[in-house]
Amino acid sequence: MAENNAVPMIQAIDLTVGYGDIVVLENINFTINKGEIFVIIGGSGCGKSTILKHLIGLYEPIKGDILIKGESIVKADWDEKRRIMKSFGVLYQSGALFSALTITENIALQLEEYTDYPEDEIFRRVNEKLKLVGLEGAGPKMPSELSGGMKKRAALARAMALDPEILFFDEPSTSLDPVTAAMMDRLIIDLRDRLGTTMVIVTHDLDSIYAISDRVIMLDKATKTIVARGKPSELRKSNPPPSVKEFLERAGLSRKMD
């Protein structure tokens, strides 16, 4: 569970984001605490992936600031930004493994780029991460030899290579069957509980939302802002606006209809 800290792990302050002259979200404010599983939800086109890309430093906001452990990733110069970015890992929707490299080589890339570890230490750390995600012994395999769920777990092991304090997930259950998606949910909770890692997850999978989240924010395309925030089970009981209620009461349908 989340802990109370004087400095949140992440703060979005009066954040306006978009592309060029197109504003997707405006004047957004939220905080994410250490050890929290924080989930960003909403309908298609509401800006979930857009805000994630801004949080991890891929895009500059139109206005506002993003603080990672109290430091601005928006105002940082390149060297400072690179240092801040080492504190988090990202699991992309597709997994984004390099198809020409083995799983071991995929995970080792970050360790080779960002550390001075000798080869044997890199190999030890790669195997440690594979064990954490239940893929012990899969290092020599190519991505094409893995199932969809195994690829996601291998990509998660790569995201954890540098022992990040924060993990970002973009639709972690996409393309997974219901059983495998539920296994991914359990893995996320287990890793948070064992390592204390802060998790920030973008998802439309309502089963996941109820299974893993400590808190959610719900984004709205029409108003370009946050229309609900809190624990999803409590939100559903609190007589929320009709659009929020309808979204949350669809829970359980997504995987059953796959």
Domains in the chain: boundaries: 1-87+166-258, 96-163
CA distances from 237 to 21, 33, 208, 234, 254 (A): 38, 24, 18, 5, 20
Residue that has been written with the tokens 């979005």 in this structure: 12
Considering Cα of 219, then 233, then 91, then 151, what sign does the dihedral take?
A: negative
Strand partners, 11: 31, 67
Report the SS3 class of residue 13.
strand
- Contact residues for 187 (Cβ-Cβ < 8 A; gap 6+): 133, 134, 153, 156
Strand partners, 31: 11
pLDDT in tens, 13-60: 999 999 888 999 999 999 999 999 999 998 888 899 999 999 999 999
State percent of the chain over pLDDT 70.
93
Residue that has been written with the tokens 């800006």 in this structure: 47
Query: What does the alpha-carbon distance between residue 247 and residue 241 come to, in Å, rounded to a whole number?
Result: 10
CB contact at 8 A, 166 and 197: yes
CB contact at 8 A, 35 and 1: yes
Sorting pLDDT into bands at 50, 70 and 90, what band is 103? very high
In this structure, whether the domain defined by 1-87+166-258 belongs to CATH 3.40.50.300 is answered with yes
Residue 50 exposed, middle or buried by CB count within 10 Å (0-12, 13-18, 19+): buried
CB contact at 8 A, 109 and 159: no
pLDDT in tens, 209-258: 888 999 999 999 999 999 999 988 787 777 667 777 777 776 444 444 33
pTM comes to 0.89
Least confident of 71-80, 86-95, 119-128, 155-164: 86-95
Is residue 64 within a helix (H) or strand (E), and if so which, with residue range?
A: strand 63-68
Is residue 4 within a helix (H) or strand (E), and if so which, with residue range?
A: none
Neighbours of 217 (CB within 10 A): 22
- β-pair type (225-230, 88-91): unpaired
Tokens describing residue 104: 């071991």
- For 84-93, letters b (16+ CB in 10 Å) and e give bbbbbbbbbb
